[in-house]
Amino acid sequence: SATSSLSSPSSSSSSSKSSPTLKGSIGGAPSSSARPLLSPLLCSMPSSMAPRVHALAFKLVLASSPISASCLITMYSRSRLPDASHHLFDEIPVAYRDPFCYSSSIVGLAQNGRPRESLSVFVCMRSNAVASTRYALSGALRAAAALDALEQACGIHAHALVIGLDENVSGTALLDAYGKAGVVEDARKVFEGLGDDRNLITWNVMLAAQQGDVQTVNGLFHEMMESCFEPDGLTFLALLTACSNAGAAREAEFWLEAMHSKYKVKPGLEHYTCVIAGVARVGRLEDAGIIASTVPCKPDAAVWRTLLTGCVVHRKDDMAGIMGQCLLEIDPKDDSANVMLANVDSTTVRKDEVAEAWTATRHCEVRKEVGRSWVEVRG
């Protein structure tokens, strides 16, 4: 099998001698005929094989060739090893980096939560005059969406239009980029332009882009149902998030009930957290607490932090202390909980409790996270 031959350096070496396509890519410009052989072979292997395959490729002087390297980058990315994939990309000589290498790195970094590095590789690709691919553009758009970077998203979209790849770029990636940046009108234009290519993912992204517009998100949901798409957990998360942000507590409770009773979708903790946030936002803190106590799964820190925030906003000081303690039992180093509890005590002139709160904070070596503001410089 391919896996067993690669795990044996001796057998792999002998096979490489008999393969002109592999041998031709060693120490020189890669042969394009080697890619159809290597790509299916490497990319079909389990991602856990990446270090072993990389070691064998290194012995065969193949690790830095763009053909095998792009496949190895993909394997490392699938293994959730972005540092290894990025390091391998850096080892490829700049003159040998082809569109496949750049695309693999851009997509892999974006998928592994490294949006800044992903965009940096995209900029490097453009500065070296390497042709863009649909995968590179979609990966860069995903990175821009993760950063809520509207200027970058617009620039990537414009670049796709100029080179004639706008119809090949993932509509979902472009929709997500505009939606997360808050440009709902542009997101709607992209969504409408998808036509028959819409799927459940694009509907969910469009629903999530509505933020707190409950009327629009309800209308979109009914449109989706008329188009014969079955809602899933992400669909209802978008609905509940919009209701929570708008303070539409009754709407949120309605959708939570309809979710499992009518649409047979099991609510997760994130769905309950949205409902709790919406109910707490309108001051129904006792009801929010009841929902938290009846959640089928154990409430996490996000649930108690949501309740604590609601108590602070609505000045429910006694209840805030209870919620704060529940939060600190889960995460003793939560700086927001300690600060909010100290502020509650200071407003009620409970100086002893304020001192205890700050002493406990110092004892646990908790430091308040410094606030940051982001400013774009030259895009």
Is pLDDT above 60 for 135? yes
18, 55, 74, 192, 348 from 69: Cα distances, Å: 21, 12, 9, 39, 63
Q: Looking at residue 6, what is its pLDDT? A: 36
Task: Identify which of 144-148, 250-254, 355-359 has the greatest average pLDDT.
Answer: 250-254
pLDDT of 42 above 60: no
Task: Check pLDDT > 50 for residue 296.
Answer: yes
| pLDDT, position 359 | 60
**Whole-number Cα distances in Å, 377 to 121, 122, 158:** 18, 17, 19
Question: Would you put residue 97 in left (φ > 0), alpha (ψ -120 to 50) or beta?
Answer: beta
Instruction: Supply the pLDDT for residue 17.
Output: 36
At 48 the pLDDT is 66
- Domain ranges (residues) in the chain: 50-196
Q: For 84-88, 335-339, 370-374, which range has the lowest pLDDT when averaged over its residues? A: 370-374
The phi and psi torsions of 313 (rounded to 5 degrees) equal: -65, -40
- Average pLDDT (320-348) is 74
SS (H, E, C) 13-35: HHHHHCCHHHHHCCCCCCCHHHH
Indicate whether 349 pLDDT > 50: no
User: What pLDDT sits at residue 108?
Assistant: 92
| Better pLDDT: 347 or 321 | 321
- Of 158-172, 300-314, 352-366, least confident by mean pLDDT is 352-366
Average pLDDT taken over every residue of the chain = 78
Q: Does the pLDDT at position 169 exceed 70?
A: yes
Mean pLDDT in residue range 133-138: 89
Mean pLDDT on 263-269:
92
> How many beta carbons lie within 10 A of that of residue 285, not counting itself?
21
Q: What is the mean pLDDT of residues 136-140?
A: 91
Among the listed ranges 67-71, 170-174, 297-301, which one has the minimum average pLDDT value? Answer: 67-71
What HEC string does 203-265 produce?
Answer: HHHHHHCCCCCHHHHHHHHHHHHHCCCCCCHHHHHHHHHHHHHHCCHHHHHHHHHHHHHCCCC
Return the pLDDT at 70: 79
* pTM over the 0.85 mark: no
**Burial of 51 (C-beta count, 10 Å sphere; 0-12/13-18/19+):** middle
CB contact set of 254 (below 8 Å; sequence gap of 6+): none
- Which residues, at least 6 apart from 158, have a Cβ–Cβ distance to it below 8 Å? none
The yes-or-no verdict on residue 265 having pLDDT over 70 is yes
Give the model confidence (pLDDT) of 228-246 as tens digits. 999 999 999 999 999 999 9
The answer, yes or no, to whether residue 353 has pLDDT greater than 80, is no
Q: What is the pLDDT of residue 160?
A: 87
Q: Indicate whether 264 pLDDT > 80.
A: yes
Q: Give domain 50-196's CATH architecture.
A: Alpha Horseshoe (1.25)
Is the pLDDT reported for residue 361 higher than 70? Answer: no
